Amino acid sequence: MIEVGELRRLRQVRVAEPEAIAVAAAARRRRPLVDAGGRLMLIAADHPARGALSVRNDPLAMGDRRELLERLVVALARPGVDGVLATPDIVEDLLLLGALDDRVVVGSMNRGGLAGSVSELDDRFTAYDAAGIAAANLDGGKMLLRIDLGDPDTVSTLEACGRAVSGLAARRLVAMIEPFMAARAGDGRLRNDLTAAAVVRACAIAGGLGSTSAYTWLKLPVVDEMERVLAATTLPVLLLGGDPDGAPQETYAAWEKALALEGVHGLVVGRALLYPPDGDVAAAVDTATALVKPGGVGE
């Protein structure tokens, strides 16, 4: 639980001692990216900065910052959880709460493609950049790459992601790309194509970004024919959690099957674990972690 006094202290630090954030970042104890088995379990919390606050039937589920931080602190404390993927505001709150020592921290970079906006595909880098990730003592950066062959905004996002991959690699930091082929539906909303063929194509495009792919990882959806998808790349792959609207047991079963494939190294999951239908964050996280690390989740 995050007490009222702790939240008050966060606000006071931001007013009176903003330099304390950089001090906490520099002092954070880091660890290797993956565990001894080459696996990685990350909790994602970068949705709010893109205006995506909804979970199931609650359009503002992620809008209460104290509740979100409480859920993140619970998740990060569970055995086998390796770290978090988040925007600067959330990373810095967690730093000040002392929740990020010995955890992997990946900074979310392009949040300019606001959910539902007319310029959603012009996904500008409005959060971390490569220099900022290095300065904050983080372990890597994540970028969303939606590719609509009929929308000219796609090329600017491709170019920005390519620069980010190069900038992170120059600092020997992981570049985590989440690529989708996408298109506007009849209602004007941007929708991702989750067929295997589309994900294969997105992998091919994402893997070629930047001056080197040495530090590039892919963050991919679980789709039918995942074997075809994994055959499309030699880059390390993490599975994204996907839409939390489905039945949890069906979601867990799909994750388990995909996690057994060669080239898959773990999960990056947000709302499905932070806001499970029964409200038990610890149990949801433990179930997912056991799928990623079936041999045990020892520290």
- pLDDT tens per residue across span 110-147: 999 999 999 999 999 999 999 999 999 999 999 999 99
Please give the model's pTM, rounded to 2 decimal places. 0.95
Give the pLDDT band (50/70/90) at residue 4: confident
Distance CA 236, CA 124 (A): 25
Q: Please check whether residue 236 is in contact with residue 268, taking contact to mean a CB–CB distance below 8 angstroms.
A: no
Cβ burial of 125 (10 Å; 0-12, 13-18, 19+) is buried
Q: Report residue 265: phi and psi, to 5°.
A: -115, 0
Contacts of 152 (CB under 8 A, 6+ apart): none
Task: Give the pLDDT score at 73.
Answer: 97
Structural domains counted in the chain: 1
Q: How far is CA 66 from CA 2, 4, 21, 200, 272, in A?
A: 7, 9, 18, 39, 18
Among 63-67, 149-153, 242-246, which is the least confidently predicted range? 242-246
Domain enclosing residue 154, as ranges: 4-291
Tell whether 298 is covered by a domain: no
Specify the pairing of strand 40-45 against strand 83-86. parallel
Tell whether 172 is covered by a domain: yes
Task: Give the pLDDT score at 297.
Answer: 54
Tell whether 215 is covered by a domain: yes
Tell whether 299 is covered by a domain: no
What average pLDDT does range 74-97 have in this prediction? 98
Q: How far is CA 76 from CA 84, 165, 183, in A?
A: 8, 27, 35
Assigned token pair, 198: 């589309």
Q: Which residue has the tokens 């996002």?
A: 157
Single-letter amino acid code for the residue at 147: I
Tell whether 297 is covered by a domain: no
pLDDT tens for residues 55-71? 998 999 999 999 999 99
Q: Which residue has the higher pLDDT, 249 or 134?
A: 134
What average pLDDT does range 42-57 have in this prediction? 95
Task: Give the pLDDT score at 295.
Answer: 78
Tell whether 43 is covered by a domain: yes
Domain CATH number, residue 144: 3.20.20.70
Task: Give the pLDDT score at 79.
Answer: 97
Distance CA 35, CA 31 (A): 9
With a cut of 90, say whether residue 274 has pLDDT above it.
Answer: yes
What average pLDDT does range 235-261 have in this prediction? 90
Tell whether 266 is covered by a domain: yes
With a cut of 50, say whether residue 299 has pLDDT above it.
Answer: no
Tell whether 19 is covered by a domain: yes
Distance CA 31, CA 104 (A): 7
pLDDT tens for residues 187-236? 888 999 999 999 999 999 999 999 999 999 999 999 999 999 999 999 99
Nearest in space to 269 (alpha carbons), one of 260, 261, 254, 278 = 254
What's the helix, strand, coil split of the chain in %, to 5? 40, 20, 45
Nearest in space to 92 (alpha carbons), one of 32, 33, 140, 138 = 138
